[in-house]
Structure 1
Amino acid sequence: MPKDLYFIAIVPPQPIYNQLQELTEECAQKYKSYKALNSPPHITLYMPFHFESDMLSKLTDSLTNFAQNQKDFQISLDGFSTFSPRVIFVAIQENTSLSVLQKQLLDHLKEDLEISNKHFATQNFHPHITILFKDLKPEVFHQAWEELKDQKYEANFLTTSFCLLKHENGKWKLINTFHFK
């Protein structure tokens, strides 16, 4: 059976989505790091996983049921931070609701669909929105961080859903949105 690559994320609403997309595009041009443009601005809830393409309806049904048991909550973006020496991101203020959602999603996927990643499950959840990564050269990382570390970026939004994204032709495409109750 052919398997496709998916991941699950929160995609910020407009106008924050456009602000983050523009920021990512500006940084890509300035620092010659384009990998972050392969996906929409997002907060990863479940890292990429393979799933049988002919079973997609089972996955979407499961995620729909899971989303129906969730409640809307606020997310606050606050400045920039790093996973040195290759990733610069927009930081997210500590958020219990977001952490609980992510943990419940991991448990749900494991129990309902036997989707599990031991490495991901044992990592501490560190929500963020990546603007530069992977193809960012270490020497350019330091220059970019010096220029971005003291810049202000603040935004708040109400999270009312999460999304399923699929890897197609080297890019991540949003294929479904799951709204909370």
Structure 2
Amino acid sequence: MFFIGICPPHPLEKRIHGIKEEFRQKYGVKGGFRSKAHITLQMPFNLAINKEEQFISALNYMLAGKRTFKIELKDFGNFEPRVIFINVDENRELDSLQKSVEHLMKKFQVFNSTHKNNGFTPHITVAFRDLKKPTFSKIWNEVKDRDFKESFRANAITVFKHNGNSWDIFSKN
């Protein structure tokens, strides 16, 4: 299993990790630690081992000549009742990049570019999976009015591969 995302730079990733740690300590949720902080461009998909090298080459080719762009994060959002995340402001460059990734995925016979065909909703997840409804409400009440404002330059795409327990960086392009 693989997925594709954009990771924030280390200082910001560390700050987001701190938010995940806060929720782990207060509420015992740890699902957010299964991967580094990221904005998902392509949700998890299967890829045959003999297609991995070809896929990375095609991804690199697609990215050739693309410029870096600014991503702005602002406050918190949710997918009720099990996901809490940091909002990503609307961004035409990010939307365009996701569409390019989606187009590439179709060439590799992967058609699950969005969750349940709900469209692309860029965000950075901080709590999910093991988040039960009562805990969701407690965390959401705690963060719904909390300020969070950061920005960074998107200058690479990361391909993650699942190792059986968590997601490892497979390729950074």
User: What TM-score range do you get, normalising by the shorter chain?
Assistant: over 0.9
1:148 aligns with 2:148: no
State the Cα distance separating 1:134 from its structure 2 match. Answer: 1.4
1:125 aligns with 2:84: no
1:109 aligns with 2:105: yes
Q: Which moved more, 1:165-174 or 1:63-72?
A: 63-72
Q: Indicate the residue corresponding to 1:94 in structure 2.
A: 90
State the Cα distance separating 1:32 from its structure 2 match. Answer: 1.4
1:68 aligns with 2:64: yes
Q: Indicate the residue corresponding to 1:52 in structure 2.
A: 48
Kindly report structure 1 stretches of 4+ aligned residues shifted beyond 4 Å: 118-121
Spell out, residue by residue over 1:58-78, the C-alpha distance to the aligned partner (whole angstroms, 9 max, x if none): 111111111114211000000
Relative to 1, partners in 2 of residues 1:77 and 1:134: Cα closer, same or farther, differing over 3 Å?
same
Q: Indicate the residue corresponding to 1:81 in structure 2.
A: 77
Letter in 2 for 1:169: G
Q: Indicate the residue corresponding to 1:34 in structure 2.
A: 30
State the Cα distance separating 1:123 from its structure 2 match. Answer: 2.5
Of 18, 33, 38, the residue aligned with 1:22 is 18
Q: Indicate the residue corresponding to 1:10 in structure 2.
A: 6
Q: Indicate the residue corresponding to 2:152 in structure 1.
A: 157
* Alpha-carbon distance in structure 1 between the residues aligned to 2:10 and 2:113: 34
Gaps of 5+ in 1: none
SS of 1:15's equivalent in the other structure is helix
* Alpha-carbon distance in structure 2 between the residues aligned to 1:165 and 1:140: 28
State the Cα distance separating 1:122 from its structure 2 match. Answer: 3.5
Relative to 1, partners in 2 of residues 1:168 and 1:118: Cα closer, same or farther, differing over 3 Å?
closer
Letter in 2 for 1:26: E
Do the aligned residues in 2 keep the contact of 1:74 with 1:159 (CA within 8 Å)? yes
* Alpha-carbon distance in structure 2 between the residues aligned to 1:119 and 1:146: 27
Structure (1/2) with the larger strand percentage: 1
SS of 2:47's equivalent in the other structure is strand
Do the aligned residues in 2 keep the contact of 1:106 with 1:121 (CA within 8 Å)? no
Spell out, residue by residue over 1:130-163, the C-alpha distance to the aligned partner (whole angstroms, 9 max, x if none): 0011111101111111111111111000001110
State the Cα distance separating 1:35 from its structure 2 match. Answer: 0.9
Do the aligned residues in 2 keep the contact of 1:35 with 1:135 (CA within 8 Å)? yes
Spell out, residue by residue over 1:72-103, the C-alpha distance to the aligned partner (whole angstroms, 9 max, x if none): 10000000011111111001111111111101
Q: What is the Cα-based RMSD across aligned positions, in Å? A: 1.5
State the Cα distance separating 1:54 from its structure 2 match. Answer: 2.8
TM-score (norm 1): 0.90
